[in-house]
Amino acid sequence: MMNEQHEKFLKRSEELFMRYGIKSLTMDDVARELGISKKTLYQFVSNKEDLVRKVVEKNINDDVRNCLVWSGDAEDAVDEILIVLRNVMADIQRMTHNLVYDMQRYHRDAWDLWVEHQRGFVFKLVRDNLNRGISEGLYRTDFNVDIIAKLHIAQTFQFFDETIFPPNEYLRELVFREYILHYLHGLLSDKGRERLHAKLS
């Protein structure tokens, strides 16, 4: 069971990684920013790899909790997508462009954990949203739910490919917004389009 102090350490470490990336930060940097000695930091984590993994695990747990709240709060499937869009865009705005690259290149275990989360929990969430939208009459009925959900998950990994979207040319949050609206328009029925226009107006 994680105590309050450890939770605070992870939250601050996550903020540091989001702002500066992972590779550029040493354990000395992290300890200094946390206001503790490196010896105290190593009582909580065994090394930087362990810290990155714990931060990713915390991020995944937060994501699961938040997504379930957003889904429950949403008026309908379209509203759910728009709630996710607003919140994810806020996260992307806080994220340095090299964070994902650092994790892919130097912390594969943590990256694999994040990928597993996308292909497991997030896939199920997307599929549930598709089925919800169909049942509410907001989405078309002439598509394969599993295929579209998997295509959506696969597409999310492209946002972080800097050969496609160089950070000096594209704001990642705007790329994400354009994609989500494009994805949503491809799903909507006439009723769904009316609902989206009403929400965006």
Q: What is the pLDDT of residues 138-147, one digit of tens each?
A: 999 999 999 9
Q: What would the pLDDT profile of 67-93 be if each residue is shown by its tens digit?
A: 999 999 999 999 999 999 999 988 888
Establish if 191 belongs to a structural domain: yes
Q: What is the CATH number of the domain that holds 139?
A: 1.10.357.10
Establish if 101 belongs to a structural domain: yes
Task: For residues 105-122, give the mean pLDDT.
Answer: 95
Establish if 194 belongs to a structural domain: yes
> In the chain, how many domains are there?
1
Domain region containing 84: 48-200
Establish if 7 belongs to a structural domain: no
Identity of the highest mean pLDDT range in 90-99, 139-148, 151-160: 139-148
Establish if 11 belongs to a structural domain: no
pLDDT at 1: 44
**Most distant CA atoms of the chain, gap in Å:** 61
Burial class (CB in 10 A: 0-12, 13-18, 19+), 45: buried
Least confident of 35-39, 117-121, 152-156, 157-161: 157-161
Token representation of residue 7: 């939770």
pTM above 0.75, yes or no: yes
Establish if 18 belongs to a structural domain: no
Please state, rounded to an integer, the average pLDDT across all residues of the chain.
93
Establish if 131 belongs to a structural domain: yes
Establish if 39 belongs to a structural domain: no
Alpha helices in 119-171 (DSSP H): 123-135, 145-156
Alpha helices in the chain (DSSP H): 4-20, 27-34, 38-44, 48-73, 77-94, 99-106, 108-117, 123-135, 145-156, 172-187, 190-200
